[in-house]
């Protein structure tokens, strides 16, 4: 029997596994061998982790990154049960969750039946308490501190942002700000998503040289951060906020939206700007260009090793 069956949708969600194994934990990333504890590291794998835990009578910990308010709206969940190894859902009568009601209804079921729900930030903890009715334990994760490091390099004039191309990521604000800078500066966006065509049209209308890229190698991604003049993180909503952490780790000046998770983890390292205030964003970019590199000591609590220490402390009571 393994100590932990670790459910994760990608490599990022397994960053703390090697140091946990080094502490003596046996952790399986796949398969159906019994384990004393199961952990679902993302909503995408929550249902599979719950089914595994029910099948093997394992303790279940659910890691909940965020609850985007526009996904739930003012609606409520469908009724969900887990019967004979399968989820059964009956749509509720009346107003349901605004988007993907079945997905978020199952997520709520898993959160309410897990032994513990862990979250990366105080903001997500408050959201989960309000919308799902569950008390959460704040256990911040990490950025890839082994990969994102500073290195001597030549910075190219221009602004970089890295994120999915979604409305709440707010890349349009960056393009509008770039159009107002003197002289106009280039914008490099790394990501994919449904907002691509809209962003390209906006850049063309405002005369901003804007490139949108995806599928970069891990090496190319690090190089993009290291060579950027300023990394801008204009998101209106985050559960954790990786992009500014990665930028600060490469000693690149950062501009970040003034939202709770950015304030919670980044201290005074970025230049903050007020949402829906393009003047504030333009001023913050100017200050970042003129100022010194950000202080990286703010990231000491979100390295891989620091997160592994927190996870180990949280897991061990169930494994003794």
Q: CATH number for the domain including 259? A: 3.40.50.2000
Provide φ and ψ at 18, rounded to 5°.
-55, -45
Mean pLDDT of the residues in the chain: 96
Instruction: Tell me the C-alpha distance between 159 and 307, whole Å.
Output: 30
Average pLDDT over residues 202-209: 97
Count up the domains in the chain and report the number: 2
What are the pLDDT digits (tens) for 57-83? Answer: 999 999 999 999 999 999 999 999 999
What are the pLDDT digits (tens) for 1-22? Answer: 999 999 999 999 999 999 999 9
Burial of 157 (0-12, 13-18, 19+ CB in 10 A): exposed
Q: What is the pLDDT of residue 155?
A: 82
> Residue 267 CA to chain centroid, in angstroms?
18
What are the pLDDT digits (tens) for 88-130? Answer: 999 998 899 999 999 999 999 999 999 999 999 999 999 999 9
Question: In the 8-state DSSP scheme, what is residue 57?
Answer: T
Domain co-membership, 173 together with 294? yes
Domain co-membership, 276 together with 307? no
Q: What is the pLDDT of residue 100?
A: 94
Average pLDDT over residues 38-46: 97
Instruction: Tell me the C-alpha distance between 212 and 197, whole Å.
Output: 10
Cβ–Cβ < 8 Å for 211, 189: yes
The verdict on residue 151 lying in a domain is: no
Q: What is the CATH number of the domain that holds 73?
A: 3.40.50
Cβ count near 219 (within 10 Å)? 9
The verdict on residue 147 lying in a domain is: no
Domain co-membership, 164 together with 287? yes
Say whether pLDDT at 320 is over 90. Answer: no
The verdict on residue 84 lying in a domain is: yes
Say whether pLDDT at 276 is over 90. Answer: yes
Map residue 222 onto helix, strand or coil: helix
Domain co-membership, 14 together with 135? yes
Burial of 141 (0-12, 13-18, 19+ CB in 10 A): buried
Classify the phi-psi angles of 215: left when phi > 0, otherwise alpha if psi is within -120 to 50, otherwise beta: left
- When pLDDT is cut at 50, 70 and 90, the band that residue 295 belongs to is confident
The closest alpha carbon to 164, from 217, 121, 214, belongs to 214
Domain co-membership, 83 together with 164? no
Domain co-membership, 266 together with 164? yes
The verdict on residue 148 lying in a domain is: no
Q: What is the pLDDT of residue 153?
A: 79
Domain extent for 96: 2-142+303-318
Domain co-membership, 284 together with 313? no
Domain co-membership, 206 together with 313? no
The verdict on residue 177 lying in a domain is: yes
Domain co-membership, 214 together with 91? no
Q: What is the pLDDT of residue 183?
A: 82
Q: What is the pLDDT of residue 300?
A: 96
Domain co-membership, 121 together with 203? no
Q: What is the pLDDT of residue 182?
A: 85
Q: What is the pLDDT of residue 41?
A: 98
- When pLDDT is cut at 50, 70 and 90, the band that residue 154 belongs to is confident
Domain co-membership, 106 together with 8? yes
Cβ–Cβ < 8 Å for 269, 248: yes
Say whether pLDDT at 307 is over 90. Answer: yes
Q: What is the pLDDT of residue 184?
A: 82
The verdict on residue 255 lying in a domain is: yes
The verdict on residue 16 lying in a domain is: yes
Question: In the 8-state DSSP scheme, what is residue 76?
Answer: B
- DSSP letters along 97-116, please? -SS-HHHHHHHHHHHHHSSE
The verdict on residue 149 lying in a domain is: no
Domain co-membership, 20 together with 137? yes
Question: In the 8-state DSSP scheme, what is residue 250?
Answer: T
What are the pLDDT digits (tens) for 191-200? Answer: 999 999 999 9
């Amino acid at each position: 029997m393994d100590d932990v069956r670790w459910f994760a949708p990608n490599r990022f969600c397994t960053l703390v596994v090697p140091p946990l194994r080094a502490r003596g934990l046996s952790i399986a990333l796949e398969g159906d061998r019994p384990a004393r504890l199961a952990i679902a590291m993302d909503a995408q794998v929550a249902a599979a982790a719950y089914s595994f835990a029910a099948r093997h009578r394992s303790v279940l910990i659910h890691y909940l990154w965020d609850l985007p308010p526009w996904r739930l709206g003012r609606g409520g969940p469908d009724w969900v049960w887990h019967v004979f190894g399968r989820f059964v859902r009956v749509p509720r009568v009346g107003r349901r969750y605004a988007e993907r009601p079945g997905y978020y209804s199952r997520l709520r079921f898993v959160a309410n039946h897990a032994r513990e729900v862990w979250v990366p930030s105080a903001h997500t903890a408050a959201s989960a308490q309000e919308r799902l009715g569950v008390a959460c334990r704040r256990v911040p994760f990490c950025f890839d501190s082994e990969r994102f490091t500073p290195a001597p390099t030549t910075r190219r004039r221009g602004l970089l942002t890295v994120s999915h191309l979604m409305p709440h990521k707010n890349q349009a604000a960056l393009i509008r700000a770039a159009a107002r800078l003197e002289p106009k500066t280039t914008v490099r966006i790394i990501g994919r998503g449904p907002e691509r065509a809209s962003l390209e049209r906006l850049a063309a209308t405002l005369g901003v040289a804007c490139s949108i890229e995806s599928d970069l190698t891990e090496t190319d991604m690090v190089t993009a951060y290291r060579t950027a003049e300023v990394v801008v993180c204009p998101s209106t909503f985050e559960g954790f906020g990786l992009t500014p952490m990665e930028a600060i780790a490469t000693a690149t000046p950062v501009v970040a939206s003034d939202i709770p998770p950015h304030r919670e983890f980044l201290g005074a390292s970025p230049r903050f700007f007020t949402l829906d205030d393009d003047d504030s964003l333009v001023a913050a970019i100017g200050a970042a260009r003129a100022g010194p590199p950000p202080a990286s000591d703010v990231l000491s609590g979100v390295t891989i090793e620091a997160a592994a220490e927190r996870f180990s402390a949280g897991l061990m009571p169930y494994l003794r």
